[in-house]
């Protein structure tokens, strides 16, 4: 079956512009996560969606970052007024309906964002 897909795979933008990154989770997965991977760093948690519950936004680094998930499926991560320090790989992951906290997260290939 299809895995997690993300688009675009690469995005180059100018400082100050807004960008939208898209994630299509695995069909039927109710949980969706966004992470940021900067060069030489580990994965930084950004935001978590679970079903119809309010998202966990505790990892968003500033109010320039926001995300939504429409219809419990596709998610869009938006970065407004991009800065050079936003350059990173943005990874999306999904996991099946939760049976506790043991569910494996399945990752997409990521979107590589470069802010000039």
Partner 1 sequence: AQSVAQPEDQVNVAEGNPLTVKCTYSVSGNPYLFWYVQYPNRGLQFLLKYITGDNLVKGSYGFEAEFNKSQTSFHLKKPSALVSDSALYFCAVRDGNSGYSTLTFGKGTMLLVSP
Q: Of the candidates 27, 41, 52, 84, which one interacts with partner 1 according to CB under 8 A?
A: 41
Which residue in 62, 34, 35, 66 sits closest to 50, CA to CA?
A: 34
List C-alpha distances in Å: 52 to 22, 68, 79: 19, 12, 23
Q: Of the candidates 19, 48, 94, 113, which one interacts with partner 1 according to CB under 8 A?
A: 48
Which residues inside 87-106 make contact with partner 1, applying CB under 8 A?
Answer: 91, 93, 98, 100-102, 104-106
DSSP H or E segment with residue 76: strand 75-79
Which residues in this chain contact partner 1 in the complex, by CB under 8 A? 4, 6, 31, 33, 35, 40-43, 45, 48, 50, 56, 59, 91, 93, 98, 100-102, 104-110, 112
């Amino acid at each position: 079956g299809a895995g997690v897909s993300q688009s675009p795979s690469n995005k180059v933008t100018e400082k100050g512009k807004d960008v939208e990154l898209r994630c299509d989770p695995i069909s039927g997965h109710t949980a969706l996560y966004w992470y940021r991977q900067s060069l030489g760093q580990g994965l930084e948690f950004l935001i978590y969606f679970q079903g119809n519950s309010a998202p966990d936004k505790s990892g968003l680094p500033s109010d320039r970052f926001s995300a939504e998930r429409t219809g419990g499926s596709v998610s869009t991560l938006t970065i407004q007024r991009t800065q050079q320090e936003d350059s990173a790989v943005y990874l999306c992951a999904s996991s099946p309906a939760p049976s506790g906290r043991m569910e494996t997260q399945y990752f997409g290939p990521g979107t590589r964002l470069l802010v000039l």
